[in-house]
Amino acid sequence: MIKSFEELTKTHPCFSVGSKVNKGRVHLPVSPGCNISCRFCDRQLNDVDLRPGVASTIITPREAVEVVRKAVALCPDITVAGVAGPGDTLATPYALETFRLIKKEFPGIIKCMSTNGLMLPDYYQEIIDVGIDSLTVTVNAVDPLIQERICGEITYHGKRYQGVEAAGILIENQLSGIEAVAGAGVTVKVNTVLIPEINAGHVETVAKTVAGKGAKIYNIIPLIPQHELAWCSAPGCGLLSSIRAQAEQYIKVFRHCQRCRADAAGIPGQEDFSRLIYDRPVQQANTFSHG
């Protein structure tokens, strides 16, 4: 049975509005590849960076079940099994396969998936059938002229597209995908990476548009300037809070994002147990993206 948004606001650490929910998540790095090229993305396999798009290792769906077993034993407050990379969850079949296996052994755990949305029109029915409880789609712009400055290229159904054409396909698939999944009663969160020089004046429009498609909650993630967007600035607190206020006119806003690694485990913002699960040292660092 699909969990309601109201239920998730009390049990899912990334779907709370207002005060923070002290529940945890375990991220399963089963998705290695991606089908789009965000200009700020720097995917890595390492032990040090604390940011989305980074994991110490890639695991198989069967290994992911073992990881969930270990994680809930170490931290009983973990209520969510999530897949958020390091690549896109729908660019390879492993995320959906992982959720199918997890559902059998942990029927009560919240199944949370994060995607760039390009493949949603192809997979929305499978997402619904597998029983994903919460879906995050990263939508950085709904105007192709702005989106092409953030994402330069996509590979879709075996063909490469660039520029405005790529941006148009991506946006259309994200919005129709959100509408289809939300229409089936699945709670949809939208993440937007806030890039002061590119989309700051456009985030309000993104929030209004995705709310109109049925998204329930919105997470504005400050850019950490890197890769091709190293020339951009990191948004300050003043800009972030004014843009959150603009978005809040249309949709509930989530404010506790920790920009997690793709192999994070524990309560976001508190002690991370992933070193015990994935055998890596503890570090503190910083960066961006989807999650």
CA angle 271, 54, 59 (to 5 degrees): 90
HSE-CB for 199 with a 13 A CA cutoff: 27
Token duo for residue 128? 């619904």
Which one of ligand SF4, ligand CLF, none interacts with residue 260, CB within 5 to 8 A by kind?
A: ligand CLF
- Please list the alpha-helical segments (H only) found in 131-162: 144-150
Alpha-carbon distance of 209 to 228, in angstroms, equals 27
Tell which positions 125-154 bind ligand CLF, by CB under 6 A.
Answer: 136
Among 71, 96, 112, 211, binds ligand CLF (CB under 6 A): 112
Query: Is residue 14 within the footprint of ligand CLF (CB under 6 A)?
Result: yes
Token duo for residue 91? 């660019």
| Selected range binding ligand SF4 among 58-66, 83-91, 155-163, 176-184, rule: CB under 6 A | 83-91
Query: Is residue 258 within the footprint of ligand CLF (CB under 6 A)?
Result: yes
Of 166 and 224, nearer to ligand CLF (C-beta) is 224
Work out how close the CB of 40 gets to ligand SF4 at its nearest, in angstroms, rounded to a whole number. Answer: 7
Of 112 and 169, nearer to ligand CLF (C-beta) is 112
Query: Is residue 51 within the footprint of ligand CLF (CB under 6 A)?
Result: no
Work out how close the CB of 39 gets to ligand SF4 at its nearest, in angstroms, rounded to a whole number. Answer: 9
Q: How far apart are the first and last CA of the chain?
A: 24
Instruction: Show the site string, 12-51: x = touches ligand SF4 by CB under 6 A, - = not.
Output: ----------------------x-xxx--x-x--------
Count residues near ligand SF4 (CB under 6 A).
13
Work out how close the CB of 43 gets to ligand SF4 at its nearest, in angstroms, rounded to a whole number. Answer: 6
- Name the residue among 215, 232, 230 with its Cα closest to residue 180: 215
CA angle 214, 217, 219 (to 5 degrees): 130
Which one of ligand CLF, ligand SF4, none interacts with residue 38, CB within 5 to 8 A by kind?
A: ligand SF4
Query: Is residue 27 within the footprint of ligand CLF (CB under 6 A)?
Result: yes
Of 56 and 289, nearer to ligand SF4 (C-beta) is 289
- Name the residue among 288, 266, 264 with its Cα closest to residue 278: 264
Query: Is residue 263 within the footprint of ligand SF4 (CB under 6 A)?
Result: no
Pairing of strands 36-38, 151-156: antiparallel
Question: Alpha carbon of 206 to those of 20, 82, 173: distances in Å?
Answer: 24, 24, 14
Query: Is residue 139 within the footprint of ligand SF4 (CB under 6 A)?
Result: no
Residues in Cβ contact with 100 at an 8 Å cutoff, skipping those fewer than 6 apart: 61, 130
Alpha-carbon distance of 112 to 131, in angstroms, equals 10
Tell me which residue has tokens 């990881």: 67
Cβ distance 110 to 80 under 8 Å?
yes
Work out how close the CB of 257 gets to ligand CLF at its nearest, in angstroms, rounded to a whole number. Answer: 3
Query: Which residues of this protein are in contact with ligand SF4, per CB under 6 A?
Result: 34, 36-38, 41, 43, 53, 85, 87-88, 116, 289-290
Query: Which residues of this protein are in contact with ligand CLF, per CB under 6 A?
Result: 14, 25, 27, 52, 80, 82, 84, 112, 114, 136, 219, 257-260, 268, 291
